[in-house]
Amino acid sequence: MKLVVTIYERSADAAIEAIRALRLPHDMVEVRVDAFGPPAPLAAIRAATSKPIIATNRGGAPVDFDAAYGAGIDFVDVELGHDPGPRRERVVLSHHDYEGMPNVEGLLREMPDCAHRKIAVTPRTFADNARLLGAVTPGVTIIGMGERGLYARIAAPFFGSELQFVAVDEEHVAAPGQLTLADALAIYRRAGVPPAGQAASRRPRRDASQPAGEDAGATTKLFAIVGNPAAHSRSPMIHNPIFREHGVNAAYTIASFETFSEIAEPFRNRERFAPIGMSVTAPFKEEAFEFARKHADVAPNARDAEAVNTLAWIRGRIVADNTDVDGFESLVQGSKAALVGAGGTARAARVALARKGIPFTVYNRTPREGARPLEELKDFDGDLIVDTLPVELPMPNIKTVRAAYKQTANDLLRAQAIRQSAIFLEACR
């Protein structure tokens, strides 16, 4: 797998400066000429980096082949339907569908052999993402676009997808769901895929008799953060490095789907490309508990919280746990607490506070039995605020809190991941 940094700037000069400013490891650069309009100063672009360059004019005719190759540009991106020119060994042949999920297998059969063939489509369900992953073959790049496509986008390189197109940073994302270079390095560095910095190579097409995806990557065990939405999750940047450190052939991706059952049923049935372990986030933690009561061995934390944030197949059985409880127990300290929220994460906080003997009052945005209105939080008189809401609280409006301490989501994410990662590593054995 090669990390390709997409340069999407409004002027050629800005594009050249962005290329020169790249400091993190990467393998190739894609210059989106359509962002500033052709003709492009191809010789100046070529001089900006020693890395291989792809010149792309998305949505229009390909960049002039003679001008590009004459300037030393390595590859020209050509959208399927346009003439790929006489030098197909220097063409990235692409198909993009920003609205839906076409017949990927049929498209690949239509695409002539080139240096790289790229399919970027918009899956909506787990089944769509599984089809995409099943289409990975040598010489092919598979990309799931949008939030629902993150499952395949992140996982595909672990199964042999050739190129991963990434953004310089969050302000320069050029396509829906595109990862940043820093996040991609955290996910893939030292992974079971060729590392960044290795020279690009051309692999032959897979023989048609060989099942799609049946190669070294096919043994990769998948894990995922499950939520709606979940695109914002930092979990892939936490768990993938842990897998690398322990030398296990596993990958962690994002499963952001409309319903919990979309991923829970493939998980339960151990379908191909389904995860064998899941981190469950809002709004599915309580639904995951009901799933676990029917299909899993429920650990004490999950039983006490009546919410599940961890599901994994271990020694032929599904184990359900709640490592949020562990995370909160390691973090909370004080003599009197305000617990903000009443969902699945708040249930874990209740268990942790009770176990540590810290009295607490619950505040919530909507009426809930046993909870006070959120507006009354301004009158709270204590030394600990545990905020489980997905939005930022107006902390400056809380006047009477002595040494108020807000438990942040990032703190909890890392604290709960300690035992969750141990569960996932057990699932890999």
Domain spans of the chain, in order of start: 2-188, 222-322+413-427, 326-408
Dihedral angle sign, alpha carbons of residues 314, 290, 302, 245: positive
- The CA distance from 85 to 133, in Å, is 29
Task: Kindly list the distances between the CA atom of residue 35 and the CA atoms of 11, 12, 40, 241, 294, in Å, as whole numbers in the listed order.
Answer: 7, 9, 10, 34, 52
- The residue with tokens 């301490």 is 405
Task: Choose among 39, 48, 43, 50: nearest CA to 17.
Answer: 48
Cα angle, residue 22 at apex, residues 20 and 26 outer, rounded to 5°: 125
Predicted TM-score (pTM) of this structure: 0.89
pLDDT band at 150 (very low <50, low <70, confident <90, very high): very high
- The whole-number average pLDDT for the span 156-173 is 95
Active site residues: 285
The residue that leads in pLDDT, 375 or 158, is 158
The residue that leads in pLDDT, 323 or 379, is 323
- The whole-number average pLDDT for the span 127-132 is 97
- The whole-number average pLDDT for the span 38-57 is 96
Examine domains 2-188 and 222-322+413-427 and report if their fold is the same.
Answer: no
CB atoms within 10 A of CB 247: 10
What lies within 8 Å, CB to CB, of 214 at 6+ separation is none
Task: Kindly list the distances between the CA atom of residue 251 and the CA atoms of 7, 180, 192, in Å, as whole numbers in the listed order.
Answer: 27, 18, 9
- The whole-number average pLDDT for the span 179-202 is 66
Q: By percentage, how much of the chain surpasses pLDDT 70?
A: 89
The CATH code of domain 2-188 reads 3.20.20.70
What is the CATH class of 326-408?
Answer: alpha beta
Q: CATH number of 222-322+413-427: 1.10.3720.10, 3.50.50.60, 3.40.50.10860, 3.30.43.10?
A: 3.40.50.10860
At residue 192, does pLDDT exceed 60?
Answer: no
- The CA distance from 376 to 52, in Å, is 59
